Copies of this chain bind each other. A is one copy, B any other.
């Protein structure tokens, strides 16, 4: 298995393998898929030290963060295994026939089925959790879809080694040959999105690159869904009362959040609205320190892009550098705090709402909450929106606006840190994501499924999940009512 993986730089081979594997995965049982996911989790856990060492060399993210990320990744695989066994993600629905209706209603039973081979693009900033064995791979395998991963060039050795372990674990657990392949290279990625055998794409990356691939996926003779998580500025609003109550705590919290992982998080708090004249930007700068360290970033390209982005931002009329410097060191990022006011943001939205992927934040002073909300509404779409207020404050108008622009609304917290759970939503209006689905949490499985209804089917032709006796004991909707297993 390891040999095949090492050689699978040939996309056509990987795609043909995936198509053949799909004939088996589409007929796999929930128990099969749960066992595959758990086998992958166990194998990664067993090789954690080896993987973290490679990852640290390639990403500079550090042992603590990387160990935590492996734990998150394997917990994610096991959560999807649990969800597969629980079975409600299939939306199994049974309507018994009603001959008395006009027109008569036939027996109709609906279930979700896997789409087919899925392409997964690894992200640079999460070498485990959003990469070879990350959330997209876990949700595609859970759905019953073979996966072709396009490894990220920022961690090539880690990608290949992870792929070897994943493929080996899947094979040992009895998964069909070809269920998982690993390819590399920018041109291969372009071809992957256009490959006839590929039925959906999961992507985490830049707005520029993601948009190009989104356009290719939609421009195909047979368009396929492109689930991209692209760009977010993650607005934060702090009320006067919150600032009065705990300005230092807020400044320290923000400094910790926007510099975490050298700011290389899609949930980085990029624009923070505070009352005018509060001196909050200076407080944040003080929390960061007078001479922020230059910390190696994931790649030189990312560091260059960060330097360019903060340089452009600092050069806009009405924007000032309050802490750190727009002058960055090659290959590294050092924390920078910028400040402006809400009127400037409203007038210069496109430039000021550009995501700076790195340790920067823009503190925006507002004259009124209404003005801040006018500016936040112009964000368009973001992964998160946060409010810091005091108990008893009426935040309904703030929550209404944040709910419109973001997929996750936080109260009194900072957006970095994304729990992997049933209720998580990682996605929001364009450009944060490209669709109405999430890329983190159990419902991410829905992206790789499509409904099929069986009309007047004999019991023997139905999948087990739709048989009258409910042999797998899954939640189902029967004649319009949700029914839980006994």
Interface contact B421-A108, CB-CB below 8 Å: yes
- Tell whether A475 is near chain B: CB-to-CB under 8 Å: yes
Interface hub of A215, A427, A458 (most chain B Cβ within 10 A): A458
Report how far A103 CA is from B443 CA in the complex, Å: 21
With contact pairs A218-B215, A434-B223, A482-B88 given, residues A425 and B110 touching in the complex (Cβ less than 8 Å): yes
| Copies of this chain assembled into the complex | 2
With contact pairs A411-B457, A455-B409 given, residues A436 and B449 touching in the complex (Cβ less than 8 Å): yes
Q: Which listed residue (B86, B115, B421, B427) contacts A105, Cβ 8 A?
A: B421
Which A residues between 396 and 422 are near B, CB-CB below 8 angstroms? 396, 399-400, 403-404, 406-413, 417, 419, 421-422
Query: 0/1 per residue, A233-254, Cβ < 8 Å to B?
Result: 0000000000000000000000
Residues of B within 8 A of A413 (CB): 106, 455-456
With contact pairs A391-B458, A411-B457, A436-B225 given, residues A450 and B423 touching in the complex (Cβ less than 8 Å): no
Residues of B within 8 A of A408 (CB): 452-455
Which A residues between 449 and 486 are near B, CB-CB below 8 angstroms? 449-458, 461, 475, 477, 480, 482, 484
- Tell whether A424 is near chain B: CB-to-CB under 8 Å: yes
Interface contact B95-A423, CB-CB below 8 Å: yes
Q: Which listed residue (B95, B404, B423, B435) contacts A110, Cβ 8 A?
A: B423
Shortest Cβ distance from residue A469 to the other chain B in the assembled complex, whole angstroms = 18
Residues of B within 8 A of A391 (CB): 458
- Tell whether A177 is near chain B: CB-to-CB under 8 Å: no
Residues of B within 8 A of A417 (CB): 103
Interface contact B214-A452, CB-CB below 8 Å: no
Interface contact B215-A435, CB-CB below 8 Å: no
Interface hub of A71, A115, A225, A450 (most chain B Cβ within 10 A): A450
Report how far A482 CA is from B484 CA in the complex, Å: 8
Report how far A45 CA is from B140 CA in the complex, Å: 45
Shortest Cβ distance from residue A62 to the other chain B in the assembled complex, whole angstroms = 16
Interface contact A453-B436, CB-CB below 8 Å: no
- Tell whether A93 is near chain B: CB-to-CB under 8 Å: yes
Residues of B within 8 A of A453 (CB): 407-409, 423-425
Interface contact B477-A422, CB-CB below 8 Å: yes
Q: Which listed residue (B115, B380, B425) contacts A451, Cβ 8 A?
A: B425
With contact pairs A215-B218, A225-B435, A449-B436 given, residues A108 and B424 touching in the complex (Cβ less than 8 Å): yes
Which A residues between 187 and 245 are near B, CB-CB below 8 angstroms? 214-215, 218-219, 222-225
Shortest Cβ distance from residue A225 to the other chain B in the assembled complex, whole angstroms = 6
Query: 0/1 per residue, A420-451, Cβ < 8 Å to B?
Result: 01111101111100111110010100010111
Residues of B within 8 A of A412 (CB): 456
Interface contact A438-B411, CB-CB below 8 Å: no
Residues of B within 8 A of A434 (CB): 223
With contact pairs A222-B431, A484-B482 given, residues A454 and B407 touching in the complex (Cβ less than 8 Å): no
Shortest Cβ distance from residue A387 to the other chain B in the assembled complex, whole angstroms = 9
Residues of B within 8 A of A53 (CB): none
13 of the cross-chain contacts (CB-CB < 8 Å) are: A95-B419, A110-B441, A222-B380, A224-B430, A225-B435, A225-B436, A403-B452, A407-B450, A408-B455, A410-B455, A411-B456, A425-B451, A437-B451
